[in-house]
Chains A and B, each alone.
Chain A
Amino acid sequence: MIATRLTPKLAVLLLASQTLLVAGLIIFAKLGLIARQEYSELLIGLGFGAVARGMAFVLFLRIADEYRSVRLTRLAWQALAIHAALMYLRGLVTSSLVDLLIEDYYSSPLRGFLNHSLGSISSIFLLLGVIGILTGYRRAGLGPNLRARDYAAISITLILFGGLLSFRANLDDGHSPWAINRILQPLDLCLIAAASIVSIVLYRYAASMSGGKMAAALRWLVIYGIGPGVLVLLLQVILPATAGAILLDFSPVGRLWTLLPWMLTLTAAVRAQITVDVLAHVARLKLAGREKPVTA
């Protein structure tokens, strides 16, 4: 069983390795010990990203197989698997490493198109996945009601993204020569905002469980769903606004994008571990052999 090998511990170990490697390169460069290794940082991000997305893809498909009798939830986990695969493809075709093969690729409209079209499609699959899981819970009768602070968080998200969209002319593709890019970028942002909002709802579901392994898996999915929204706001709104006041180089903050895939991998690994634990528990119960029928 693949889930016995692709464990949450392995995911955390790989995440820590990637963080240490990239942070080490950046810190050494800042200390003047080495030159800034931008391509090495990108390669590390791409390599570890491939492992993270690959693990998530395989695990999500295995998890979906466990829901043969519940079609909606099965489709939801499959949607998350497709999301993982599309996001890796997006990371690959939008990397500035492609500049080594195609001149000026990074600033070309083709890259912008691939970035936002793949981003939008993968965000749709993420939304479908999370909404599918939420709907399943609600149908089972386990859906809690949202609280005032959830509505407050949703309102703040809407206001921040609304503000960002109203200044979309300042975004990367705000003046793209391709009209489709000028449409796709705001759409991509809307979908990121939607994923953040749905993740806030998912957080309430996870919190209402008061612990347990399923809640732990959902919490990683919440972090993954909210992450892009937080990073977009951080990189597009907060850091540019504070750049004049704080004289620090914020460029390494962009590397946080490369750590985000691990949150999805951890969702899959923690969820898959439930089945491993359940099977081990069943084996222990059978060994204990202390069972007696209730309805004799």
Chain B
Amino acid sequence: MKDEFSDEEWDDYLTGRIASDARARIDAHLLVCSACWELYEKQAPVMHAVGDAAADAREHLTISDRQLRIMFSQTLTTIRAAEENTPAQIRHGLEFLNSLLIPVFGPEAAHRALRLAATRSLDQVTPESWNSFLERLANITSIVCGDVFAGMIREHGQMAPAVH
């Protein structure tokens, strides 16, 4: 899939924000690629639901565009992490760490800290690299919030809950 179009184009396609020429290209690809079609069928309902919920929220709640973008980016992170190559335990671990960071860091800085700790992308965190990822995250949190919070990240990152 990545040879045909980028992750960003795919996200834009799912949310209907894509340019018409790129849309035509992905439409054409979906006609011939069953793997991408399956992925589309799996992700499209979620993205449409998110889009509808966002539209509802925009209409009924006073959420700024900025906050909406953060919520959207978190949803994308979760969806991407749910792809086959991310083990469920890592996904749970990332969600758990995110839930610890958000009340203190705020959603945007929490997401940025996780990405910085992952060095490249959250998708590439593996069980093997989990400890080094956790150590980098603890170092970042110790600068912002001190050793107590960093200690919690270290300790509970090793023991992320299995079910949320």
Chain A residues packing against B (C-beta within 8 Å) = 63, 66-70, 73, 136-137, 139-142, 208-215, 274-275, 277-279, 281-282, 285, 290-296
B160 within 8 A of A: yes
Is B106 within 8 A of A214, CB to CB? yes
Which residue of A has the minimal Cβ distance to B130?
A: A295
For residue B155, which residues in chain A have a CB less than 8 angstroms away from its CB?
282
For residue B106, which residues in chain A have a CB less than 8 angstroms away from its CB?
209-212, 214-215
Nearest Cβ on chain A to B96's Cβ, whole angstroms: 9
Can you list, as one digit per residue, whether each of B106-132 has a CB less than 8 Å from chain A (1) or not (0)?
A: 111110110010000000000100110
With contact pairs A295-B127, A295-B131 given, residues A139 and B162 touching in the complex (Cβ less than 8 Å): no
Name B104's contact: one of A63, A69, A142, A214 (CB within 8 Å): A214
For residue B22, which residues in chain A have a CB less than 8 angstroms away from its CB?
none
The distance in angstroms between the C-alpha atoms of A279 and B143, with both chains bound, is 18
With contact pairs A274-B104, A277-B103 given, residues A140 and B143 touching in the complex (Cβ less than 8 Å): yes
Nearest Cβ on chain A to B3's Cβ, whole angstroms: 31
Is A278 within 8 A of B104, CB to CB? yes
The distance in angstroms between the C-alpha atoms of A285 and B152, with both chains bound, is 10
With contact pairs A208-B108, A294-B130 given, residues A274 and B149 touching in the complex (Cβ less than 8 Å): yes
For this complex, 28 residue pairs linking A to B, each with C-beta atoms less than 8 Å apart, are A67-B146, A70-B142, A70-B146, A140-B116, A140-B143, A141-B140, A142-B109, A142-B116, A209-B109, A210-B70, A212-B104, A212-B105, A212-B106, A213-B103, A215-B106, A274-B149, A275-B146, A277-B104, A278-B149, A281-B100, A285-B156, A290-B162, A290-B163, A292-B161, A293-B158, A294-B89, A295-B127, A295-B131
The distance in angstroms between the C-alpha atoms of A178 and B110, with both chains bound, is 53
For residue A285, which residues in chain B have a CB less than 8 angstroms away from its CB?
156
Is B145 within 8 A of A214, CB to CB? yes
Residues of B65-104 at the interface with A, using a CB-CB cut-off of 8 Å, are 66-67, 70, 89-90, 92-93, 100, 102-104
Is A292 within 8 A of B162, CB to CB? yes
Is B159 within 8 A of A293, CB to CB? yes
Is B140 within 8 A of A142, CB to CB? yes
Residues of B4-22 at the interface with A, using a CB-CB cut-off of 8 Å, are none
With contact pairs A209-B105, A211-B107, A214-B105 given, residues A66 and B146 touching in the complex (Cβ less than 8 Å): yes
B148 within 8 A of A: yes
For residue A70, which residues in chain B have a CB less than 8 angstroms away from its CB?
142-143, 146
Is A136 within 8 A of B144, CB to CB? yes
Is A137 within 8 A of B144, CB to CB? yes
With contact pairs A141-B112, A294-B130 given, residues A210 and B156 touching in the complex (Cβ less than 8 Å): no
Is B102 within 8 A of A282, CB to CB? no
Nearest Cβ on chain B to A288's Cβ, whole angstroms: 8
B147 within 8 A of A: yes
Is B144 within 8 A of A142, CB to CB? yes
The distance in angstroms between the C-alpha atoms of A217 and B96, with both chains bound, is 24
